[in-house]
Structure 1
């Protein structure tokens, strides 16, 4: 029972968090973000094309980041350090996605088994599923409000073992994805994340009346 409850309390929320984080790598999200940040006014390259190439690389559509300002331009616009960093980002994303898929499978298996063995434990597990993640979200929310720049730095030091994420101020990635982009994105992910857990709790209550 403890294993099943762990999968529901920990692995299911983790899988959902990665699903929502993956939305940042979609072309649709980049379209919504266009011209919403001050740095976008300085962009001289084709925004849609660069977004497609970068996000497409993260989603395995393209094998490299050797692209120019437009589809017709062959001169690579990314610095070498940007390309190296994006290789690291893709590796992290891939690892998190694989872990999320495994977590989701284990969580769904646990729900299936508890439904067969002990419906009450399943009901209570889904009813309380939001508690831990809500506390984590509150902590992160406070940290972001106090010093998002510092939190952003800590995040990179945890996930990356080099300094390639310290990019030149005129880099394509910083123009395309400024700090405020990440602040808005982080808040959006947390809202969707917590909302999904409360939705699970609501549906659990509704279906077990």
Structure 2
């Protein structure tokens, strides 16, 4: 170290580390207050060729002395680069001063960097900070259900298919020999035939009419049914009306089958891993079916004759569905039969709709929990 003052025989580090009250301490205080310590520190350099600024060109630092790297002083980065080995002649305090900071400051800076890294890691793991809005909707999370175009079409199809499928199943259940057996033999209070048909006669001849509605035969199937005396059982007007009824029921069966087949295809597509599932369509379809059945039930209860007449007027031409009391269709299927058939159809639709509605909620909670777990794992 170069100095002209004979009083300052100690080096700069000795003056800084000494705690005496002599002239050297006062000089050190004066130097620190005036900023000359930076100049002396700059001049004290035995490990670098660059002597740094001289007294004629003092350089002052405005950074805090304990900041890591910022308070190293002029040329500090050149004198003590990061990762350089500490000379054995210097103590830790001296090496820290030459490096531009203190051990406490370096530790604080390292701790701050660690805390910052920990905060960033926590934020990355969480996916968002406490004050940020939920950004999960903007991220394509694996396992999340998304409604695409086919998803919407499939859900609407299933919703509209459920009423037709249930109606077709209910009508097919009533248009059967089992329902005829119940009505003619086990239904309490079923009206007897005033023109001589017994319960066995009704079951025998009525089975022809029901079979005709469900088979692929033409109207000649009914034309060939005769009484024991050889007289045809059904009049031509009755056969024509049964043909109209068969066309209507066949159309309902066809719509129900197509709706069920396409609905199964859409259900398989909607049930994929990232799909929304088919429970929405089933739930809405069951709800729609219940509402429609409730409206029809209210109309039937308020006036059965008016409801029966309005139904036939809606689907059949006027004058093609009204017969005499001694005609075979009236004798086999009196008004009580159609009332019981309507109640049976409504009960089947009601029970099936409630069952579908219940099934649509099964597994929804577990699937929702699984999706939440997947979203939490991706954050």
Structure 1 length-normalised TM: 0.88
Residue 65 in structure 1 maps to residue 218 in structure 2? no
Matches within 5 A, 1:57-206: 57-60=212-215, 63=218, 64-66=221-223, 67-70=225-228, 73-116=229-272, 118-206=274-362
Q: Which one has the bigger helix percentage?
A: 1
Question: CA 1:203/1:149 → structure 2, altered by over 3 Å: closer, same or farther?
Answer: same
Render the CA deviation track for 1:56-101: whole Å, top value 9, x for unaligned. Answer: 111227542121235xx53202122111111111111112111111
Aligned length: 207
Select 1:20's aligned residue among 170, 175, 186.
Answer: 170
Query: What is the CA–CA distance in structure 1 between the aligned matches of 2:275 and 2:353, rounded to whole Å?
Result: 19
Question: CA 1:48/1:180 → structure 2, altered by over 3 Å: closer, same or farther?
Answer: closer
Question: CA 1:14/1:117 → structure 2, altered by over 3 Å: closer, same or farther?
Answer: farther
Larger Rg: 2
Give the superposed CA RMSD: 2.1
Where structure 2 has 5 or more consecutive residues not aligned to the other structure, the ranges are: 1-150, 367-379
Where structure 1 has 5 or more consecutive residues not aligned to the other structure, the ranges are: none
Partner of 1:11: 161
Aligned-pair distance for 1:17?
0.9
- 3-state SS in 2 of match to 1:69: coil
Question: CA 1:193/1:43 → structure 2, altered by over 3 Å: closer, same or farther?
Answer: farther
